[in-house]
Copies of this chain bind each other. A is one copy, B any other.
Amino acid sequence: MSDEKEWQETKFQRKALQVTDAQARLMAQAKRLEPQSVPLMESCGRYLAEDINAPHPFPAFNRSAMDGYALIAADTAECSGGSVVWLEVIDNIPCGAVPSQVIGSGQAARIMTGAQVPEGADTVIMLEVTETRQTDGLTYVGIRKPQKSGNSITPLGLELRQGDDLLPKGRLISAGEIAVLAAFGVHSVQVYRRPKVAIVATGTELLEVHEPLQPGKIRNSNSPMLEVLVREAGGEPVMLDAIVDDLELARSRVQMALDAYDLVITTGGVSVGDYDIMGDLVREHSVEMLFNKVSMRPGSVTTAALRGGKLLLALSGNPGACFVGFQLFGGPVVKEMQGAEQPYLPQWTARLGSDYNKVNNYTRFVRAKLVIKDGSVWAFPADIDESSVTVTIKDSDCLIVVPPEEKGLAAGARIQVIKLPGEIRG
């Protein structure tokens, strides 16, 4: 066998892993980054590094749910058919104040929504159904209907008792989490550090976005796309200059990036051809190759390796394959490093919106639009479905998972979809 022949064999005979196996191999090496304390508002979009329990009951006091009068329900038992019970108003409790009096039989306190219900009182009647009168310098409130004990009072601890689970470790912090953390006075929050993710495109054909088009060349759209996707997954993208197809240059650039950052994502240079520089790089001795072929379309050449404890994820240079590769591998790693409770994208059962006939012996991830119709989830495959396609990325909110060896899928078929990040536009 000639040297050329042997070299070709090594390059072509890659062992393809199933997607889930490749994911597992990658995720096993994704190290959770160190926790750090950040001010509450900076914790938004990050993942909790601690379980949080309620530091006090919530509400912390019996709270009036109405503007009205706090009183003893039993005092109103004798209201009926027009007869009015009159109670002496002995206190006025605005929000934020502490009641100054205990309510006894025949007494009531004017109270605001959100204010602390005074001791003695066991119900609040809304202002709109009461009347008042002044007699001898005293104020009385008149009530025409019997009231039930507990009405319009939110009791201490209704939402949470002290020590109850509030938020679990790994939880993504968003508006609702910010609200409860603020309500409990958690002004400093333990979250995992965001990974710094170096992004490097390879390819002699790449132009910068601002450069005019040149024959045979294309603009580098993968780097800007990955910058957004990394940020969306919670990472801090670090944009490195694109590198031409040169193994020496790629090796030194990738090594420096692996030393300086938490994760390196490259695009391009993973084909089986002459310029498989990332492929060559992960075959070197200093590098532990995790996989260099995955049983999937697009992106079968997706490659991952470990060097000095740092992960290198080499995605295809085809925009569609780069996008799918990031969603299946890159996003989960970036989230895992931040301790996310759910690093993978959600997978749903759905129904196929229109026939899909492209098949092959690898699992295919088909970009598609989701539509929720009459309570059912439908997925419509993109018109053009090739790994190189850029324009359908923007119109896709899921990936249809087409198993290998399918004979083609008819509209209405039950399918699995991977929900992509972002809102469903359908």
A105: Cβ under 8 A from any B Cβ:
no
> Known: A113-B273, A159-B391, A178-B228. Is A96-B204 also a contact (CB below 8 A)?
yes
Q: Evaluate contact between B349 and A374: CB separation under 8 angstroms.
A: yes
Q: How far is A176 from B273 in the complex, measured between Cα atoms in Å?
A: 28
Q: Are A372 and B349 in contact (CB-based, < 8 A)?
A: yes
Given contacts A114-B203, A183-B390, contact A424 B414 (CB under 8 A): no
Q: In whole angstroms, how far apart are the Cα atoms of A372 and B393 in the complex?
A: 23
Q: Which of A311-345 contact B (CB under 8 A)?
A: 317-319, 323, 342
The reply to whether the CB of A160 lies closer than 8 angstroms to some CB of chain B is yes
CB-CB nearest in chain B for A96: B205
Give the bracket for the number of chain A residues in contact with chain B. 35 or more
Task: Report the minimum CB–CB distance from A43 to chain B (whole Å).
Answer: 10
Contact A388 B174 (CB under 8 A): no
How many Å lie between the Cα of A195 and that of B342 in the bound state? 33
* Min CB gap A55→B, angstroms: 9
CB-based contact A274/B112 at 8 Å: yes
Q: How many copies does the complex hold?
A: 2
Task: Across the interface, name the chain B residue whose C-beta is closest to A207.
Answer: B185
Instruction: Report the bound CA distance from A113 to B178 in whole Å.
Output: 48
A212 partner residues in chain B, CB cutoff 8 A: 185
Question: Of all chain B residues, which has the CB nearest A67?
Answer: B273
In the complex, A260 has a CB within 8 A of chain B: no
Given contacts A96-B217, A112-B271, A414-B375, are A179 and B346 in contact (CB under 8 A)?
no
Identify A275's interface contact among B95, B166, B185, CB under 8 A. Answer: B95
Complex CA–CA separation, A275 to B425 (angstroms) = 42
Which stretch from A218-226, A250-258, A289-297, A402-410 is at the chain B interface?
A218-226
* Among A99, A175, A180, A245, residue most surrounded by chain B Cβ atoms (within 10 Å): A175
Q: Cα distance A391–B175 when bound, in Å? A: 11
Answer yes or no: A137 CB below 8 A from chain B CBs: no
**A372–B394 contact, CB under 8 A?**
no
Residues of chain B within 8 A of A204, CB atoms compared: 94-97
Measured CB to CB, the closest approach of chain B to A191, in angstroms, equals 15
Q: Does A210 contact B (CB under 8 A)?
A: yes
The CA-CA distance from A186 to B224 in the complex, in Å, is 12
In the bound complex, do residue A227 and residue B41 qualify as a contact, i.e. CB atoms below 8 Å apart?
Answer: yes
* Segment of A22-30, A56-64, A81-89 in the binding face: A56-64
Interface residues of A in 388-426 (CB under 8 A from B): 388-391, 393-396, 414, 419, 421-425
Chain B residues with CB under 8 A of A414: 375
Asked if A288 is at the interface (CB within 8 A of a chain B CB), the reply is no
Closest B residue to A210 by CB, please name it: B187
| Contacting pair B389 A218 (CB below 8 A) | no
Does chain B have a CB within 8 A of A238?
no
Q: In whole angstroms, how far apart are the Cα atoms of A219 and B272 in the complex?
A: 61
| Minimum CB–CB distance for A116 against chain B, Å | 4
Name the 6 nearest CB pairs between A and B, nearest first. Answer: A96-B205, A176-B394, A67-B273, A95-B205, A176-B393, A179-B225
4 new A-B contacts, CB < 8 A, other than A96-B205, A180-B391, A183-B390, are A59-B218, A158-B389, A176-B323, A180-B221
On A, residues with C-beta under 8 Å from B are 4, 12, 40-41, 44, 56, 58-61, 63, 65, 67-68, 93-99, 110, 112-116, 127-128, 132, 154, 158-160, 166-167, 174-187, 203-207, 209-213, 215-225, 227-229, 231-232, 245, 271-275, 317-319, 323, 342, 346, 348-351, 372-377, 384, 386-391, 393-396, 414, 419, 421-425
27 inter-chain pairs at a CB distance below 8 angstroms, sorted by A residue, are A40-B224, A44-B231, A63-B388, A94-B205, A94-B274, A96-B203, A96-B216, A112-B271, A115-B205, A159-B389, A159-B390, A159-B391, A174-B394, A178-B224, A179-B222, A180-B221, A182-B209, A182-B219, A182-B221, A183-B218, A184-B219, A185-B212, A342-B425, A346-B423, A348-B375, A376-B376, A419-B423
